[in-house]
Amino acid sequence: MKVLTFWLLWLCLGGAAAAQQAGPAPVRPASTPRELDARYQPLKEIEIPQVQTHTLPNGLRLYLLEDHTLPVIRGRALIRTGNLFESPDKIGLAEMTGAVLRTGGTTSKTGDQLDQELESMAASVETGIGETSGQASFFTLKEHLDKVLAIYADIVRHPAFRQERIDLFKNQSRGAIARRNDDPAQIAHREFANLVYGKDNPYGWQQEYEHLDRITRADLERFYRRYFFPANFMLAVYGDFQASEMKARIEAAFQDWRNPQPPVPPFPEVRKSPPQGGLYLVAKEDVNQTNIWMGHLGGLLKDEDYPALQVMGDILGAGFPSRLMQRVRTRLGYAYNVGGSWGAQYNHRGLFAVQAGTKSASTVKAAKAMLEEIERLRREEVTEAEMTTAKQTILNSFVFNFDTRAKTLNRLLIYEYWSYPKDFIFQYRQRIEAVTRQDVLRVSQKYLRPGELTIVAVGKPADFDQPLGELGLPVIPLDITIPQPAQDKAQSDAQSLTLGRAALERARNWAGGADRLAAVRDASYSAKAQLTGPMGSLAVQQNTRIVFPSTLRQENDLPFGKIIVYTDGKGGWMKMPQGQSPLPGSQLQQVRGEFFRMNETLLLSDRRPGRSVNFVRKQKTGDREADVIEIAEQDGPQVRLLLDSVSGEILSKQYQGEALTGPPPKVEEIFEDYREVMGIRVAFKTIVMQNDKKFAESQITEFRYNTGLKPEDLAKP
């Protein structure tokens, strides 16, 4: 019997520091805000350069802007596509297509070969697909234009989507999924956006392992063919060239590119019946700060009232002069980070959002202050000084979108992409300048809906200054558990069940028999473990005590100190040299998996309700023939045992491990050096393999059953 929990191994290999969250940021003395009646210099006039536009015979739209300042040339294409066109069973397909379009190389060259060729010329070609657009860009010195343009056209027209690059991207995406609950601030933002947009439409979808597993190379090829065609391309080229010559070069590079497709349909709209708000809590026991997001759907950039709404949002939450910063941070000292804005997008409604990070002991007070500032905007006019500051800040920031000819070209391309008027630049500026205090009050009363706010708090409820329900809404718990990847399950029928139970009974009899296994109440053992990981090799002395069915205490002596872990299956704590902290929920889940896989209870699985035992196949293991059986709980963990087909000896155990910082690994425990303890055969040596590489080796030095341990004995500090 052996317990080698992988969350502990992770800690031993350098994760301990990551498990300790930094303390709350100190509340610094407020710096003196700039005078609200400060005089601003007149804005520089925006100059719109003369851009030559052409539509090539194959439908590709071309935008050319000469600039002979430097001998460089840049190109950027916008492609009408995005992850909003994905199907709900293959979320992430668009992003994967955009990435592997470049990394997967072309039909004539691998991605590595393209990298080397481009690097030798100090050039680059990049591709990607986001929510509402795809992009393909290049950069080159003028002298290498022909070579780089040829590579660019080859990538756009002849991608290979090599399987090894797809697999690499999938592994990187699995790692991102596994880490998505590491940062409480990111959790709050993500859950807020998903709730406001709604998870029944693409704006609120979230990628899971199952979506990655469904995506195939053929899916990428189909997605590419549907959206990458000339009439769906807008290519802007900027730099040191003659426009007539550049047009001829682009036309030659793409002249035989056809791939005719029907026009791309409009992007889906945000659902028309958003949820009517609510108060949501993500309880995390390992934090001492609370991250709060609140708001509802915003609007479009082309809305008639958008300029007044942007001024309103700036007064509410943009920078040090804002009301949220002045009150919540400066006067009350509840938060170092607080802000808000009225969000708008080109083609779909953005998010009106107010957010703060506050210490746990001021959670409800900070939230109430944020709500009061929203209400105050609806109740009274803002001051003239606030108006002046907000309008000048917006206009001075906006001009930086046009402070170079390249940025102006990019902005014009975006306006064209979304069918905005060519003079939208000037319309926007004039309308900001025309906003009045009365306009801000009017739009605040019209568009801010306190009764429909979605509020998300991520923190430790036990440390809140007041119950979260004091905000006047029922508290709805949010489960952010990451669904584990679907595992291949054995075919279950009468024959596989019969053969599986027979093989399990042979293993049980070989191990010592059902009566002896059922009589086990507790276990204690000492072991020496050698771990091999990204930080090298590490020796660990383990002392473990278990009271079945779910209580464990493990003390681990490491070179940098002792780690003690305790759990009763429902909660627990972990003590390290840095101090003691509650055991996070993700680690509790891993401990439960370890208990499920303990041989003492696993070998009695056919007597436990809700567990199935199926025969999978016979296979060779070294010079022995093994029966492979699968033991699974309904909608729960599963494990495969490799058993000697004649004796029933347990040769190894295979399962999908749990991940803290990367994709879930494939784990195999190989058992050797069996000895009898109280009539039960126990493997004194275990070799642990992760993804077919040796990860750990453990040698038990002392083992005892039924010493009279009680759960309360293990809980002592």
Question: Domain boundaries in the chain?
Answer: 6-18+487-714, 52-182+203-254, 278-477
Task: Tell me what pLDDT residue 491 has.
Answer: 73
Comparing 198 with 103, the larger pLDDT belongs to 103
**What is 278-477's CATH superfamily?**
Metalloenzyme, LuxS/M16 peptidase-like (3.30.830.10)
pLDDT in tens, 216-233: 999 999 999 999 999 999
Fold of 6-18+487-714: outer membrane lipoprotein receptor (LolB), chain A (2.50.20)
User: Strands 61-66 and 233-239: what pairing?
Assistant: parallel
Task: Look at 480-489, 655-664, 703-712 and tell me which has the smallest mean pLDDT.
Answer: 655-664
Fold of 52-182+203-254: Cytochrome Bc1 Complex; Chain A, domain 1 (3.30.830)
Which residue type sits at 103?
A: T
CB neighbour list of residue 326: distance below 8 Å, 6 or more residues apart: 33, 320
3-state class (DSSP) for residue 235:
strand
* Residue 99 reports pLDDT greater than 90: yes
DSSP conformation letters of 366-431: HHHHHHHHHHHHHHSPPPHHHHHHHHHHHHHHHGGGGSSHHHHHHHHHHHHHTT--TTHHHHHHHH
Task: Tell me what pLDDT residue 402 has.
Answer: 75
* pLDDT band per the 50, 70, 90 thresholds, residue 275: low
* Residue 44 reports pLDDT greater than 80: no
* pLDDT band per the 50, 70, 90 thresholds, residue 629: very high
* pLDDT band per the 50, 70, 90 thresholds, residue 9: very low
pLDDT in tens, 567-612: 998 888 889 888 888 877 667 777 778 888 999 989 999 998 889 9
Compute CA 160 distance to the chain's CA centroid, rounded to the nearest angstrom.
27
3-state class (DSSP) for residue 478:
coil
Do the domains spanning 52-182+203-254 and 278-477 agree at the CATH topology level?
yes
pLDDT in tens, 190-217: 999 999 998 878 998 999 999 999 999 9
* Residue 166 reports pLDDT greater than 90: yes
State which of 189-203, 385-399, 401-415, 508-522 shows the largest mean pLDDT: 508-522
Task: Tell me what pLDDT residue 27 has.
Answer: 32
Average pLDDT over residues 64-77: 96
Structure pTM? 0.73
Task: Look at 13-27, 188-202, 226-240 and tell me which has the smallest mean pLDDT.
Answer: 13-27
Average pLDDT over residues 623-627: 93
If you count DSSP H runs as helices and E runs as strands, how many of each does the chain have, helices first?
22, 26
How far is the first Cα of the chain from the last one, in angstroms, to the nearest whole number? 25
* Residue 5 reports pLDDT greater than 60: no
* pLDDT band per the 50, 70, 90 thresholds, residue 34: very low
Are 641 and 613 contacting, i.e. CB atoms less than 8 angstroms apart?
no
* Residue 454 reports pLDDT greater than 60: yes
Task: Tell me what pLDDT residue 50 has.
Answer: 85
pLDDT in tens, 530-563: 988 666 788 999 999 999 999 999 999 988 889 9
* Average of per-residue pLDDT values in the chain: 89
Average pLDDT over residues 61-69: 95
691 Ramachandran zone, left/alpha/beta (phi>0; psi -120 to 50) = left
Task: Tell me what pLDDT residue 660 has.
Answer: 54
Task: Tell me what pLDDT residue 24 has.
Answer: 33
Q: How many whole angstroms separate alpha carbon 630 and alpha carbon 612?
A: 8
* pLDDT band per the 50, 70, 90 thresholds, residue 484: confident
Task: Tell me what pLDDT residue 592 has.
Answer: 79
Task: Tell me what pLDDT residue 297 has.
Answer: 94
Task: Look at 163-177, 325-339, 359-373, 529-543 and tell me which has the smallest mean pLDDT.
Answer: 529-543
Q: 684: buried, middle or exposed (CB in 10 Å: 19+, 13-18, 0-12)?
A: buried
Task: Tell me what pLDDT residue 586 has.
Answer: 63
